[in-house]
Amino acid sequence: MEKTIAHLDLDTFFVSCERLQNSKLNGIPVIIGGGDRGVVASCSYEARYFGVRSAMPIRMALKLCPEAKVIKGDHEQYSKLSNEVTEIIQEKVPLVEKASIDEFYLDLTGMDRFFGCYQWTTEVAESIKKNTGLPISFAVSANKTVAKIGTGEAKPLGRIEIPNREIQPFLNPLSIKKIPMVGNVTFQLLSRIGIRHIKTLAEMPVDVLQQMIGKNGAELWKKANGIDDSPVVPYSERKSLSAEHTFAQDSIDLENMRSIISGMVEQLAFQLRQEKWLTSVVTIKIRYANFDTETKQCRISYTSADHTLLKYALELFKKLYTRRMRLRLIGIRFSGLVHGSHQMDLFEDTEELMNLYQSMDRMKNRFGKTAVGRASGLLIQ
């Protein structure tokens, strides 16, 4: 049986959420992001017209579009609306993958026997619009890659169906940048030898691509040819991430305890970013030598940034550890997770901090998670 996959994407999701709260934002350039030294988390199509893009420094964005309205953003509200959309989809479709806070894949294979897949997806989209007020675009095709590219071409407020026989004619004239796995480095590499459109890429010998860009060459060639066997993974939310450290001997060494907390926070925050989670609840746990166990937690703005999480963790530890008895265990847990497309906290972090974390994460991915870290957390490693 031929697969049928739909990709749904909430148009300029963060901006749309803000416009639900304030209709005065309709029709004007809107930027969601941090302060003057922050970066753009999202922007309206009116701002994009001036060249504003996600992850661009706010200062640069305002130079391009001085009239833009800058809003810090409310990730808790965005998460709430995202969950409402998820519930609507899950009520109507048996197999759903939540790829990020604002995009979904639906496996509609076999549904065309009872009801046209395009019509089915249309009704899902209309239900989302009716119940939440959020605009949404979608594409229906044979696999996830083509459906995602199709949604990008359909935006804003677009709907498109790409049957098997039309996949290659649809893909051929598009820029290779439209392929999800093509970043700036790959684009520049291929552009230098004249490969800028999917048609040219699709016609290249696969072994040549592998020689140029390594093991991903074959996968890139498949995507350029509209081939993608990856399944729709059923949606499930992870509840929490946690770590504990048990002392070899009961301890009262505060400096060592803070270092251990720092190391655990750094490792858990790296895991958050790798799995594309943001956390909103930090919990500290301690166990005294007499086995008395106490915890303290606080709610925070959604983040996956080490420095933010460490600040709250140390504050909680200071409030919790008051008996000055020896400890046998320290633990930390991040919960209240949302699975979003933003690995960094674009609402709080500066461009410099984002670049620092991305560089550190690349080193950890290449050389191991303990390859680089804060000096304050070295004892845990």
In this structure, which amino acid lies at residue 156? P
Burial of residue 290 (number of CB atoms within 10 Å: 0-12, 13-18, 19+):
exposed
CA distances (Å), 258 to each of 184, 254, 262, 270, 336, in order? 40, 6, 6, 18, 24
Residue labelled with tokens 């460490």: 310
| Element spanning 242, H or E | strand 240-251
Phi, psi of 33 (to 5 degrees): 170, -175
**Residue 306 annotated as lining a ligand binding site:** no
Which among 46, 103, 219, 348 is annotated as catalytic? Answer: 103
**Residue 9 annotated as lining a ligand binding site:** yes
Using alpha carbons, select from 126, 119, 166 the residue that is nearest to residue 142.
Answer: 166
Question: Is there a catalytic annotation at residue 166?
Answer: no
Using alpha carbons, select from 10, 27, 21, 40 the residue that is nearest to residue 156.
Answer: 10
Cross-strand pairs, 71 = 32
Give the span between the Cα atoms of 358 and 376, in whole angstroms.
Answer: 20
Task: List the binding residues.
Answer: 9, 102
Catalytic residue numbers read: 103
